[in-house]
Chain A
Amino acid sequence: MRRALLLVPLLFAATAHADDMHGMAMGHEAPLGFDATFDGSGHLWVVDTLGEHVRVRRSDDMGRAFTQSTIVNPVGEPIYAEGENRPKIALGPQGDLYVTWSQPRKTPWSGFVRFSRSLDGGTHFDTPVTVHTDRADITHRFDSLAVDGKGNIVVAWIDKRDLEAAKVTNKPYLGAATYYSWSSDRGEHFAPERKIVDQSCECCRIALARAPDGGIDAFFRAIYGDNIRDHAFTSLPIGTGTLKVERATFTQWHIEGCPNHGPSLAIDAKGTKHAVWFAVTDGKPTISYGQLVPGKAPIHTFPVATLGASHADLAVDGRHVWIVWHQMTEKGLDLMLRESTDGGLHFSEPRQIAHTDGASGWPRLLIHDHRAFVAWNPDGQFRLVPTEALQ
């Protein structure tokens, strides 16, 4: 009896603790996923979410203030807006604004890839459409968006239709497939989707980058053998051209699970494929840099950062290569930078360029007028962090 009485205040204490937490601002309460890009006139465009609405804002002063804010989907809908699964924005050659996001469906891990466009400089957006023809309530999510040199809009995503088909016939199938589609009429229509590859990773973003010939290349986490989660590279032809999907990293990381950690890719004018990716090597979570040689091991590889490092992005301009990432420490979150001025042969030591005690969406490197900036939104407050060291 005495013990039972002692338990009562403990139970009340636990309840009060839990109730207190409901009033706290949790990182997951306000999704932090965002994307950003510069247009040719130096305007900064940022996409993020407000509840069930996708929002596009324009800044004319490098992100200090926003002079225009437009809701893309006045009719609200569920939106994946965190981590690897965030809204994207890209610009067309005529100043069009293109936005994609993934919409959760009723069943776990399900989603539809959604698209909307503005042909009037962001004043209005068209009613969103679903990009893919397959409308099963399954995974079509982790969308990525790019525009090629001819103005074709390319959208790639992770898709589980082939996994579902394999289940029906009791065939083994690891992960999910990766699909893509494109629009050659400024987003008026999308071509029926094409499969890029079967049995790829189901929870990592797909990196898309424009090659010197104007085409879009993809770099994404694939599955090799028994859940070796390395990365594949391919160009994404517009039309019926042959897809040549080749293994591009060889970390041999085995995991029957969700890394939640996709790569980044930037291709310079000479066609060098600069990339960063995440894997656990020798027991350490590691962000690596390398130059891809699809079909073979990458060259000029080196470990960018290890313990506590995550979600790297990179950009290239001529011989200048920038890498940024999140570095967690016991004191909070640091935004870190390493840069190379010799085309990725050598990199500077890591340098902290910003800090927050809170959380932020994954960093995005943007190039404007040969300068690199990091789009960041600690605690939901957007800012553009310069990469130049203070003199």
Chain B
Amino acid sequence: MKPLVALAMLSLALPAHAAAPTALGIADVPALLAPPAKGTKIVALWALDCAYCEQNLSALRAWQRNHADVDLVFVATDSITQADTLEKRLHAANVDDVPSRAYAERTPDRINFLIDQTWGGETPRTLVIHADGRRRAASGALDEGRIAKLLL
């Protein structure tokens, strides 16, 4: 087996490196919302002060494990200055192996608006973006059935 192939297989077998959230500013929003090259991108918006959010992140992570074509990213509406707290919360929920972002903008509501004008800021919020550009969103904690419906 070639070393590169072995490395690729190893990376699939192990959870991705747990990393602190990276900053999401206004300029980063178009890339966040860009349709994936294939499959589906799920943007899971959450907040430290949201008692329903971690269960939503866990449900989405569980879905992704069974659906290889899903690209998942967590976006905290809290400030990136709280990166340590965010990372600890994700770790405690056992979902810190998912790429994670946090707001870096002095007007968080402005990022909310740019991400999704039909979103009033309630959390959790799940945004689904398909490769063909179709988008759907839902508020509230999702279970497997609601995730499946949202991804149709």
Question: A residues touching B (Cβ–Cβ < 8 Å)?
Answer: 14, 17-18, 21-22, 24-29, 108-109, 202-203, 227, 254-261, 278, 280, 283-285, 307-308, 310, 326, 328-330, 332-333, 357-359, 379
Question: B residues touching A (Cβ–Cβ < 8 Å)?
Answer: 22-23, 25, 47-53, 56, 78-82, 89, 103-110, 112-114, 117-125, 139-141
User: Quick check: B140 and A257 within 8 Å, CB to CB?
Assistant: yes
* Chain A residues near B51 (CB-CB < 8 A): 108-109, 202-203, 258
Please list 14 pairs of residues, one from A and one from B, whose beta carbons are closer than 8 Å in the complex, sorted by A's number: A14-B22, A17-B23, A21-B104, A22-B81, A27-B106, A202-B51, A227-B140, A257-B56, A283-B118, A285-B118, A310-B120, A328-B110, A328-B112, A330-B114
Which 3 pairs between the two chains have the least Cβ-Cβ distance? Answer: A285-B120, A28-B79, A257-B140
* Chain B residues near A255 (CB-CB < 8 A): 122, 139-140
Residue of A nearest to B146 (CB): A256
User: Quick check: A26 and B104 within 8 Å, CB to CB?
Assistant: yes
* Chain A residues near B47 (CB-CB < 8 A): 258
Give chain B nearest CB distance to A35 CB in angstroms: 19
Cross-chain contact of A284 among B52, B56, B104, B118 (Cβ < 8 A):
B118
* Chain B residues near A283 (CB-CB < 8 A): 118
Residue of A nearest to B26 (CB): A330
* Chain B residues near A26 (CB-CB < 8 A): 79-81, 103-106
User: Quick check: A27 and B120 within 8 Å, CB to CB?
Assistant: no
* Chain B residues near A280 (CB-CB < 8 A): 120, 122, 139
* Chain A residues near B81 (CB-CB < 8 A): 22, 26, 28-29
Cross-chain contact of A21 among B25, B120, B124, B141 (Cβ < 8 A):
B25
Give chain B nearest CB distance to A52 CB in angstroms: 17
User: Quick check: B49 and A257 within 8 Å, CB to CB?
Assistant: no
Known: A257-B52, A257-B140, A328-B109. A18 touches B121 (CB 8 A): no
A285 to B121, CA, bound (A): 9
* Chain A residues near B89 (CB-CB < 8 A): 108
* Chain B residues near A259 (CB-CB < 8 A): 120, 122
User: Quick check: B50 and A203 within 8 Å, CB to CB?
Assistant: yes
* Chain A residues near B104 (CB-CB < 8 A): 21, 24, 26
Give chain A nearest CB distance to B82 CB in angstroms: 7
* Chain B residues near A108 (CB-CB < 8 A): 48, 51, 89
Residue of B nearest to A326 (CB): B109
User: Quick check: B50 and A257 within 8 Å, CB to CB?
Assistant: yes
* Chain A residues near B112 (CB-CB < 8 A): 328
User: Quick check: A21 and B139 within 8 Å, CB to CB?
Assistant: no
Known: A257-B50, A258-B47, A328-B110. A285 touches B119 (CB 8 A): yes
Give chain B nearest CB distance to A13 CB in angstroms: 11
* Chain B residues near A21 (CB-CB < 8 A): 23, 25, 80, 104
Residue of A nearest to B124 (CB): A257
User: Quick check: B107 and A258 within 8 Å, CB to CB?
Assistant: no
**Residue among A256, A280, A329 with max Cβ neighbours from chain B (10 Å):** A256
Give chain A nearest CB distance to B105 CB in angstroms: 7
Give chain A nearest CB distance to B83 CB in angstroms: 8
A307 to B112, CA, bound (A): 11
**Residue among A26, A257, A326 with max Cβ neighbours from chain B (10 Å):** A257
Give chain B nearest CB distance to A173 CB in angstroms: 12
User: Quick check: B79 and A310 within 8 Å, CB to CB?
Assistant: no
User: Quick check: A28 and B141 within 8 Å, CB to CB?
Assistant: no
User: Quick check: A28 and B122 within 8 Å, CB to CB?
Assistant: no
User: Quick check: B108 and A261 within 8 Å, CB to CB?
Assistant: no
* Chain B residues near A202 (CB-CB < 8 A): 51
* Chain A residues near B140 (CB-CB < 8 A): 227, 254-257
Residue of A nearest to B4 (CB): A3
A203-B49, A310-B109 given; name 16 further pairs at CB < 8 Å.
A21-B104, A22-B80, A26-B79, A27-B107, A28-B103, A29-B79, A108-B51, A108-B89, A109-B51, A255-B122, A255-B139, A257-B125, A257-B141, A307-B118, A329-B113, A332-B107
Give chain A nearest CB distance to B5 CB in angstroms: 14
Give chain B nearest CB distance to A86 CB in angstroms: 13
Residue of A nearest to B107 (CB): A359
Give chain A nearest CB distance to B68 CB in angstroms: 22
User: Quick check: B122 and A257 within 8 Å, CB to CB?
Assistant: yes
A328 to B140, CA, bound (A): 22
Give chain B nearest CB distance to A221 CB in angstroms: 11
User: Quick check: A310 and B50 within 8 Å, CB to CB?
Assistant: no
* Chain A residues near B110 (CB-CB < 8 A): 328, 332-333
**Residue among B51, B53, B105 with max Cβ neighbours from chain A (10 Å):** B51
Cross-chain contact of B108 among A27, A109, A330, A379 (Cβ < 8 A):
A27
**Residue among A29, A328, A330, A379 with max Cβ neighbours from chain B (10 Å):** A328
A28 to B111, CA, bound (A): 13
Give chain B nearest CB distance to A100 CB in angstroms: 19
User: Quick check: B50 and A258 within 8 Å, CB to CB?
Assistant: yes
Give chain A nearest CB distance to B109 CB in angstroms: 5
A258 to B109, CA, bound (A): 15
* Chain B residues near A256 (CB-CB < 8 A): 52, 140-141
